[in-house]
Chain A
Amino acid sequence: NAGVTQTPKFQVLKTGQSMTLQCAQDMNHNSMYWYRQDPGMGLRLIYYSASEGTTDKGEVPNGYNVSRLNKREFSLRLESAAPSQTSVYFCASSPTQGDTEAFFGQGTRLTVV
């Protein structure tokens, strides 16, 4: 029973490099989300996808792009990584947008040097 799976779990990038964080859920959920968590802060929403084929900006979208590849997968791309993007990234999903329970992946710790 995998739930929400994120890859990779850890990553170190050099400033200016690009990478894609992968997220997949096997619960047939419609809505998916990307959050970032910084020290001393709660999670902040980067982008979300209410349903397959739609994506929208959250609170902190600058420097990121997303793709809802299909119902299962929602990827987050950093085109040109910056040290300010050093963070822990969480993917989450819920059955429908506004459903009361979101299920989270285990997070990706990204360091940009």
Chain B
Amino acid sequence: AQTVTQSQPEMSVQEAETVTLSCTYDTSESNYYLFWYKQPPSRQMILVIRQEAYKQQNATENRFSVNFQKAAKSFSLKISDSQLGDTAMYFCAFMRAPRGYGGSQGNLIFGKGTKLSVKP
């Protein structure tokens, strides 16, 4: 069974600074996807960034980037130039890649989340 661990329940950062959120996972699968989701106080789950395990290049989306270390099973999220609107819960999630049709593929496995506060 796959597990996702986020070891930092809460973090804070000053506006305009950089912060890194940690995530480790455990799986025996060779092909999978990893995600970071943001959940602001509105409760909406928003996809921040995703990474395909077969890609060596780290994913980047504007101020958000990941450090994907497949051998170490580590997937950290770096937020640069932090903004007040980045204040939210951040969830790391794992999904097994499709193999044919059916089964549990496509089901997301989430970590417990990191509450990030950006301070002015």
Interface string of A53-91 (1 = CB under 8 A from B): 010101000000000000000000000000000001010
Chain A interfacial residues counted at CB < 8 A? 29
B50/A42 in contact, CB under 8 A: no
Interface string of A3-46 (1 = CB under 8 A from B): 00000000000000000000000000001010100001111110
Determine whether B79 belongs to the interface, using a CB cutoff of 8 Å to chain A: no
A41/B112 in contact, CB under 8 A: yes
Which residues of chain A are near B107, meaning CB under 8 Å? 33, 45, 48, 58
Determine whether A100 belongs to the interface, using a CB cutoff of 8 Å to chain B: yes
Tell me the complex Cα distance, A11–B109, Å.
26
Known: A40-B112, A43-B91, A98-B95. Is A50-B102 also a contact (CB below 8 A)?
A: yes
B95/A100 in contact, CB under 8 A: yes
- Shortest CB–CB separation between residue B37 and chain A, in angstroms? 8
Chain B interfacial residues counted at CB < 8 A? 28
Determine whether B56 belongs to the interface, using a CB cutoff of 8 Å to chain A: no
Interface string of A86-102 (1 = CB under 8 A from B): 00101010101111111
Partner of A106, one of B43, B105, B113: B43
B112/A90 in contact, CB under 8 A: no
B108/A43 in contact, CB under 8 A: yes
A42/B113 in contact, CB under 8 A: yes
A101/B106 in contact, CB under 8 A: no
B45/A90 in contact, CB under 8 A: yes
A98/B106 in contact, CB under 8 A: yes
Known: A31-B106, A48-B106, A58-B107. Is A42-B42 also a contact (CB below 8 A)?
A: no
Which residues of chain A are near B44, meaning CB under 8 Å? 104, 106-107
Determine whether B21 belongs to the interface, using a CB cutoff of 8 Å to chain A: no
B42/A106 in contact, CB under 8 A: yes
The B64-109 residues at the A interface (CB cut-off 8 A) are 91, 93, 95-98, 101-102, 104-109
A98/B105 in contact, CB under 8 A: yes
- Shortest CB–CB separation between residue B96 and chain A, in angstroms? 8
Give me the interface of A with B, judged by CB distance under 8 Å: 31, 33, 35, 40-45, 48, 50, 54, 56, 58, 88, 90, 92, 94, 96-102, 104, 106-107, 109
